[in-house]
Structure 1
Amino acid sequence: MSYLSFKKEVKRGDIRPVYFMYGTQTFLMEDLLIDIIRETSLSQDDPNVISYSLQDTLLDIAVEEAETFPFFGGKKIVIIKDFSLVTAQKQDTKLEHDLNRLQLYIEHPSPETVMILLAPYEKLDERKKITKELKKRTALVECAPFDEKTLSLWLDGQAKTKGFEFTVDGKDSLLERVGPQLLLLASEVEKLALYVNGDRVVDREVVELLVARSLEQDVFALIDFAIKKQLDKALIIYHDLLKQREEPLKLLALIARQLRIYYQVKEMTKRSYSQKDMALQLKLHPYVVKLASQQINRFEEKQLLLLLEAAADTDYAIKSGKMEKTLAVELLLMKLSSLHARR
């Protein structure tokens, strides 16, 4: 079940007895937990909302809690965090967990309890019996990074709950500045809602007024200005970042990373990879691949290789003491700007 499907299901009041949430997006897990707690008419500090971590609590204790009746009737929610028993990673605890007890429970769950298992991990061990049983017998919710379409729908939903809506350019501007990081996006949506305060629309002008670019987006803009031969604007961003105490070596590493992404996306585009497949292969968010795809036509393949080599040479020159780091990165930007870029 996807995140958005889950939201719709819970909103209808359809609460399952056991949920198994996995994936790297812990922000989504917390958001879904709030939905379940709200829909069951409980609050996070209610005694019938009990949370355990398998790092310091036996699984038996959590299952036993799920089997007992809630205080004063109604519903009970039992949250089991750090459920690493579905992964291949080595356990950081000496506790011996009884998986048979859990398996028996999910076959016949208590009607008064909602059990939620949280596995904030990228990969599950599909060979394990417990993994197969949980996928078979529970409501499975994947909390993975959103693709471009889901991210757009999620932002629309966040805005709607705050009483406003984005224009197309407003939403694009927010994503350009913040990137696909959900926690930061949610925080910025909150800020935008407070600013518009009753106005229904947030456009690019409002976003640019209130939302600062992330460091990665500053580097993206820096490269963008350089390849457009607007070196003065690129250097303004660079020196602004230095005033914010950003290390030139760190900025160099981010510039090299961005150029490497351009090269990889250009190569994979030649081989007819879809943007989705590129994101999977390169382990990047689809939105990052989309932005790179919009830039790669400015470069010849040889130019990107030369720039990557120049970035490596700059790194060596700094670390070997041959060049002062601030000046070295500035010279790299000049070299980037001096190359012919197709328009």
Structure 2
Amino acid sequence: MAYIDVLKSIKKGNVAPIYLLSGTEHYIIEDTLHLLIKQVLTEEEREFNLSKFDMKEYPIELAVEEAYTFPFMGGKRVVIVKDAFFFSASKDTGKMEHDLKKLEAYLQEPAPETVFVILAPYDKLDERKKIVKLAKKNGQFLDGSPLEERDLKLWVMDRGKENNVHFNEDAIEHLITLTGAQLMLMASEIKKISIHIGEGGTITKELVEELVPRSLEQNIFALVEGVVKREIDKSWKIYLDLLKQKEEPIKIIALMVRQFRILYQVKQLSQQGYSQKQMASQLKLHPYVVKLAGNQARQFKDEELLGVLNDLANMDYEIKTGKIDKVLAVELFFSKRAPVRNT
């Protein structure tokens, strides 16, 4: 089930006896777990009825035994199984042995008084394993993969409602861009903007621009965007601002190389027929970042991107060997890409 749908179900009080939370977006897993605990247990109950077992330190049978234990003072018990590597195809190098037959038996007949939560923060589960099939059949499965654009926007709107504010469409787009679609950072910024504007307020793109700071990576993205559009004055201004923030030119150049390499890779994969989701998985990037890179990459021919990467590589070499001043080198790089002005 999708992240947003799982959250809605929990908020309505529809709590399953088993949860299998998987995927590489750690914020999604942690946010779901936090809501689940909050929904099932009061603050006072957590001291007695909340148990956590790290599978690198405890055998699974200990967690199963705890799950069968009747909750203190009635109510519900929550048992959390962390780093359940045996749900994936990877092999654990630790010395802890686990009796998975006991886990299978529990997943077939879970205790009605217990919410059994399995955390498997991996890219893929081993669908051939019986414990994976049983957990999905008798419980609730969360796909904690990075959210795609549509779900990202729905998530922002939902967070806005929770904070009693409304987001304009272009404000949502700008927030996602400035934060690099990082959910934890987005949640923090939404909270901050909501406090600033007050209940019932409308959040605009201008407000997001004013209140949400750009990360170094986002400044590099904007700098590259200036190169793409041949708005070199914009790129130069961003570069000088980064220098004022004590960022090293060599580091800036390295990040520029990384961004242009992403553009080239996205362009190549797109030409080979890869989807946005497939490219994100292949390049280990967020799907929204791939989308933005694709928009930039379309402005270049293959040979132009290779030319930019070659120029950046030569510039890096000349700076490191003392052949040219680092600030002058970047200025020459930008000047080479400035539009020719008619006289």
After TM superposition, the score normalised by the length of structure 1 is 0.91
- Aligned CA distance change for structure 1 residues 167 and 127 (closer, same or farther; 3 Å): same
Aligned residue for 2:196, secondary structure, equals helix
Of 316-325 and 52-61, deviating more is 316-325
Which residue identity does 1:96 align to in structure 2?
E
Displacement of 1:52 in angstroms is 1.7
Residue equivalent to 2:37: 37
Paired residue for 1:230? 231
Q: Partner amino acid for 1:69?
A: F
Between the aligned residues of both structures, percent identity stands at 44
Aligned pair in 2 of structure 1 residues 249, 127: CA closer, same or farther (>3 Å)?
farther
Distance 2:128 2:275 in 1: 30
- Alpha-carbon shift at residue 182 of structure 1 (Å): 0.4
Query: How many angstroms apart in 2 are the aligned matches of 1:179 and 1:276?
Result: 16
Question: 2:160–2:167: 8 Å Cα contact kept in structure 1?
Answer: yes
Structure 1 residues 125 and 248, CA gap change in structure 2 (3 angstroms): farther
Deviations 1:271-297 (A, max 9, x none): 454433433343322211221232234
Shift of 1:41: 4.2
- The one-letter code matched in structure 1 to 2:2 is S
Structure 2 SS opposite 1:302:
helix
Distance (whole Å) between structure 1 residues aligned to residue 322 and residue 56 of structure 2 = 47
Q: Separation in 2 of the partners of 1:85 and 1:325?
A: 50
| Distance across 2 between alignment mates of 1:291 and 1:201 | 26
Q: Which amino acid aligns with 1:225?
A: G
Which residue is equivalent to 1:70? 71
Deviations along 1:206-255, one digit per CA (max 9) or x if unpaired, are 11111011211101111222333332321221122122232322221221
Quote how far apart the aligned CAs of 1:333 are: 3.0
The question of whether the paired residues in 2 share the 8 Å contact of 1:228 and 1:337 is answered with: no
Cα pair 1:20 1:116 within 8 Å, conserved: yes
Q: CA deviation at 1:336?
A: 3.7
Deviates more, 1:22-31 or 1:224-233: 224-233
Matched residue, 1:20: 20
Contact 2:81 2:118 in 1 (8 A): yes
The structural deviation recorded for 1:13 is 1.6
Q: Which stretch of structure 1 is more off in the superposition, 225-234 or 212-221?
A: 225-234
Q: Quick one: structure 1 residues 126 and 249, their matched pair in 2 at CA, closer, same or farther if it must change by over 3 Å?
A: farther
| Residue ranges of structure 1 left out of the alignment (5+ in a row) | none
Deviations 1:75-123 (A, max 9, x none): 0101111111223434253221211111111111101000001011223
In structure 1, distance between residues paired with 2:86 and 2:298: 46
In the alignment, does 2:239 pair up with 1:247? Answer: no
Q: What SS does structure 2 have at the residue aligned with 1:97? A: coil
Q: Provide the secondary structure at the position in 2 that maps to 1:111.
A: coil
After superposition, where does 1:1-343 map in structure 2 within 5 Å?
A: 1-43=1-43, 45-337=46-338
Q: Partners of 2:287 and 2:171 in 1: how far apart? A: 19
Deviation at 1:127, TM superposition (A): 4.4
The structure-2 alpha-carbon separation of the partners of 1:90 and 1:337, relative to structure 1 and needing over 3 Å to count, comes to: farther
Equivalent-residue separation in structure 2 for 1:9 and 1:227 (angstroms): 44
In structure 1, C-alpha distance between the alignment counterparts of 2:15 and 2:228, rounded to whole Å: 53
The answer (yes or no) to whether the contact 2:226–2:232 under 8 Å persists in 1 is yes
